[in-house]
Copies of this chain bind each other. A is one copy, B any other.
């Protein structure tokens, strides 16, 4: 196999168009200060020869790498892949992220990084050194990790933080978890529920607290108590089951439960079935996350739809804008989440 070289380089284009390398470069990068006729001539050669710049060479020349890294939690991601339970977080990130990257000539590379690791710094530095990405998208829990945030800032890499509002550098995007929880709670209140339990996610994730807040706010606004109605899980199925057990054991059992993710909701659904509680007649159920598993449950579950694809697309756009020299804003971006009503919610029995 012959050593692979670029088939057609900027040199070929320059020769073909009878101009200098620099002029071709200017046209390729849409830099100002090229006469239209010159531009047309160069562009014609580019098209004729099918020239596409090498991103490796572009990077070497001191320009962008046209690479954006999507950093995800290694342990959780691999667990999801292994379980094959339909968790489609990564898919939706690719959906929104890849396609938006492509629009701008960028590529998205998925990278897994350990959360609870002391070599997290080394891993990240290695990825940065090897790939030299122009931007990084951080997902929870990385998006709240000061070590990562500071590292990226020091390296002058544009980055977006999805699902974190802690202060610090980086573009912040959230899916309006508080509002989503409020909407879900209000939906149940409107149906006539007064005892609405909530299963929170782990404190490690900022959004866990936001969701609790949204639930609490709606409850309070309706003059309902939340005193004994909060249980905490870790997003895993067993923890959801334990939380549901605690809520079921209350003297005045809740007639509705909102759980902070699909696995915990499913655990609640399964436990309800074992206890001979019919959903939704005896127990209304709302899930956060709208993974396929929720849609295919019996009954299909009313759920908060997380707009992961959209938020990722926004993140990419903001990173690329940040790379340019337009005006920047550091206000957090909020992408609204929606409540999709299916068949797991109805008025309480005897309500």
- Residue numbers of A with Cβ under 8 A of B are 1-8, 50-57, 59-60, 62, 65-66, 78, 80-82, 84-86, 88, 90-92, 94-95, 98-99, 102, 107, 109-110, 112, 122, 125-126, 129-132, 155-157, 290-293, 295-298, 309
Contacts and interface: CB of A to CB of B under 8 A. Distances in A.
Contacts of A110: 94, 98, 110
A292 B86 contact: yes
A75 to B, nearest CB: 13
A82 to B, nearest CB: 7
Copies of this chain per assembly: 2
A282 to B, nearest CB: 20
Nearest to A107: B109
B292 A84 contact: yes
Given A8-B129, A52-B129, A66-B130, 4 more contacts: A50-B126, A50-B129, A90-B91, A292-B293
Given A57-B60, A90-B91, A91-B90, A107 B132 contact: no
Nearest to A81: B95
A129 B54 contact: yes
A80 B92 CA distance: 10
A120 to B, nearest CB: 13
**What 10 A-B pairs come out closest when comparing CB atoms?**
A86-B292, A86-B86, A52-B129, A81-B95, A56-B59, A56-B56, A296-B296, A1-B156, A52-B126, A60-B60
Given A109-B107, A296-B293, A296-B297, A130 B53 contact: yes
Contact of A130 (B54, B78, B112, B155): B54
A276 to B, nearest CB: 19
A332 B132 CA distance: 37
A81 B112 contact: no
A279 to B, nearest CB: 15
B94 A50 contact: no
Given A56-B56, A65-B56, A125-B52, A156 B95 contact: no
A113 to B, nearest CB: 11
Contacts of A51: 129
A58 to B, nearest CB: 8
A156 B91 contact: no
A295 B292 CA distance: 11
Contacts of A94: 81, 90, 110
A296 B81 contact: no
